[in-house]
Amino acid sequence: MKKISVFILAAIILSAFSNQDASEILRKVDANLSSENRVFESTITIHGRRGSRTITSKSWSVGDTKSFTEYLSPAREQGTKMLKLENQLWIYTPTTDRIIQISGHMLRQSVMGSDLSYEDMMEDRKLTEIYNASILGRDMLDNRDVYIITLLAKVEDVAYHTQKMWVDADRFVPLKQELFAKSGQLLKRVEMKDIIYVDGRWFPTTMVYKDMLKQGDGTEFKISGIRFNQPIPEHLFSKASLKQ
């Protein structure tokens, strides 16, 4: 009896404060994940039906509108550069010595056979700008105390209408994310691991994306050497720098 009343009490308190708390949680998540600018090296491992492939690249980005990526390996991709400004994307490849603009419809295609589309990669808006959050409950995940929050889109032009997020209650970093269709169908699952503390924030350095409708082992995205608030020369974000 005592247990039950405690539970009811907890539920009442939770629901009263949840929306405010949830927004607070989301704000803290944003504070960890989004940044004015960042530089990082990353490794993408794509699991295909015939084995896996790893691509390494270095990226520079400012805010949510500009980013520049250079591929470092494998040999085939080496020297390939990508420039994103607002909603436009250009690719330069040394083999063709061409700057090619990737237009709207291509952005929805998957990047190099991964479970990510260009659009997924280009979505850099703050979560608080897109979603309203509410707390669903608390749980343990990978021995960490987590909040489970639901995110419901508050704007129209968003890829995933709802998300369910497992946020580390202490560090405010998402550890797991489920992306849903409007109908409630689970579309993608992202698992974040290897959380590090860098430049005053907690950041996941391993993310595993899995398209839940498709068979396969998903795509692994590993970040190494991430730095925030670095001086990035403005001329990097120009088409001229693609050819350099």
Partner 1 sequence: MIKFLLKGLVRDKSRSWIPTLVVAVGVMLSVFLHAYITGFMNETIEMNAQFFNGHVKVVTRAYADEISQIPNDLALLETDILVNQLKVQFPDVQWFERIHFGGLVDAPDSLGETKTQGPAMGMAVDLLSPTKNEVQRLNLYKSLVRGNLPQKPDDILISDFFAQKLRVNPGDTITFIGSTMNNAMAYHNFVISGTLSFGAMALDRGAMIADIEAVRFALDMENAAGEIVGFLPAGFYSSKVAHAMQSDFNKVADETDVFSPVMLTFEDQGDMATFVNLAHYMGAIITGIFMLAMSLVLWNAGLLGGLRRYGEIGIRLAMGEEKVHVFSTMIYESLMIGIAGSILGTSLGLFFAWLLQTYGLDISATMKGASIMMPTVIRARITTADYFIGFIPGVVSTLIGTALAGIGIFKRQTARLFKELET
Partner 2 sequence: MFLALKLAYRNLVGAGLRTWLNVIVLSFSYVVIIWLKGLMVGWDHQARFDMEKWQIAKGQYWHKLYDQYDPFSLTESHAPVPQRFLPFITEGAMVPVLVVQASLYPHGRMQPILLKGIPKNQNLLKLPVAALDTITDAIPAIIGTNMARSAKLGKGDRVVLRWRDKSGTFDAAEVVVTDVFATNVPAIDGGQVWIDLEKLRQMMLLPNEATYLSFGQGIKEIPEVNEFVLKTQQELTSEIDVMIKTKTTGQSVFYIILLLLAMLAIFDTQVLSIFRRQKEIGTYVALGYTRQQVVMLFTIEGAMHAVLAAAVAAVYGIPFFIWQSHAGFTIPMDSSDYGIAMAQTMYPVFTVGLIVSTTLIVLITTAVVSYCPSRRIAQMNPTEALRGKIQ
- 50 is an interface residue for partner 2 by CB under 8 A: no
Peptide bond into 204 cis (omega under 30): no
Cβ pair 190, 33 in contact under 8 A: no
Q: How many residues does the chain have?
A: 244
> 94 or 137, CB closer to partner 1?
94
Three-class SS state of 124: coil
- 102 is an interface residue for partner 2 by CB under 8 A: no
Which range touches partner 2 (CB under 8 A), out of 58-66, 83-91, 137-145, 175-183?
Answer: 175-183
CA dist 219 and 208 (Å) reads: 6
- 98 is an interface residue for partner 1 by CB under 8 A: yes
- 143 is an interface residue for partner 2 by CB under 8 A: no
Angle at Cα 84 formed by Cα 82 and Cα 88, nearest 5°?
Answer: 115
> 70 or 115, CB closer to partner 2?
115
- 214 is an interface residue for partner 1 by CB under 8 A: no
CA dist 109 and 134 (Å) reads: 32
User: Scanning the structure block, which residue is given the tokens 């790893």?
Assistant: 54
How many other C-beta atoms can be found within 10 angstroms of the C-beta atom of residue 124?
15
Total residues binding partner 2 (CB under 8 A): 21
Which member of 77, 120, 168, 178 binds partner 1 (CB under 8 A)? 77
- 87 is an interface residue for partner 1 by CB under 8 A: no
Which run of H or of E encompasses 140? strand 131-141
Which member of 29, 46, 121, 133 binds partner 1 (CB under 8 A)? 46
Question: Least distance from C-beta 53 to partner 2, angstroms?
Answer: 18
**Which spans of this chain sit near partner 2 (rule: CB under 8 A)?**
104-105, 108, 119, 153, 156-161, 179, 181-183, 185, 187, 211, 213-215
